[in-house]
Amino acid sequence: MQSFLPTYLKEVLVLPIHLNGFYTMVPFCSQLLSKNTMGPLADHLKRNKGFNPTKLGKFFQTISCFGSALFVVLLCFVPSCENPIVAVPLLLGYGLSFSCLVPGYFTSVLSIAPPYTGTITSLSTILGTIGSMLGPLILSLINYLELEHKWPILFCSSALVQGIGGIIFLTWGTAEVLPWARLDKVKPSFSLDDVPGEGKIQRTDSD
């Protein structure tokens, strides 16, 4: 949503350039605050309240997916060029709810396979980048086809993707180490025993 937000603010809410920049900044500013509080809050709940990491991750990710989807739909239908200020609390709510993915999805990515965290993080970043690229491409396609109601189509599609992602995470998501990634199952690729003269201590007569 954030990739095509400035265009929406310009075409639908008819905001001047300085207000366009302010409105576009709102969800990022709210994320700056909430992303730095959601993680410590989740750690506190796990450490002091005994919450299960997987259940807690699913709780926060549910807020992230379905909350942000709700605010995206509201942002499409509630504000208007006569009353654009209504978009500000909706953008604020979008940023706050979206930030819940830190103790949700991000924590899961770092937890499911510690020996392969770098690889999994890279793959998830690639998929996220592809998703961010699809928004402007779909908007360009809609403009090319001259479809009516292009913004409801685009915003509702974005909300639908968020909802599907939330359902998938609720069904299969976990914050526990997967069996195939446990350290006792991972065979080291190098050992001192493989090096001649290393790995064993030789006792001499002078010892």
* pLDDT, position 196: 56
Residue ranges of the chain whose pLDDT lies below 50: 199-202, 204-207
Contact 169, 65 (CB under 8 A): yes
CA atoms of 8 and 136, how far apart (whole Å): 11
Burial code of 148-163, b = ≥16 C-beta within 10 A, e = fewer?
eebbeebbbebbebbe
Q: Which of 122-139 are b and which e, b meaning 16 or more Cβ less than 10 Å from the residue's Cβ?
A: eeeeeeeeeeeeebeebb
Q: CA angle, corner 100, sides to 118 and 77, nearest 5?
A: 125
Query: In the prediction, which pLDDT does 197 show?
Result: 55
Does domain 5-175 bear CATH number 1.20.1250.20?
A: yes
Query: Where do the domains of the chain lie?
Result: 5-175
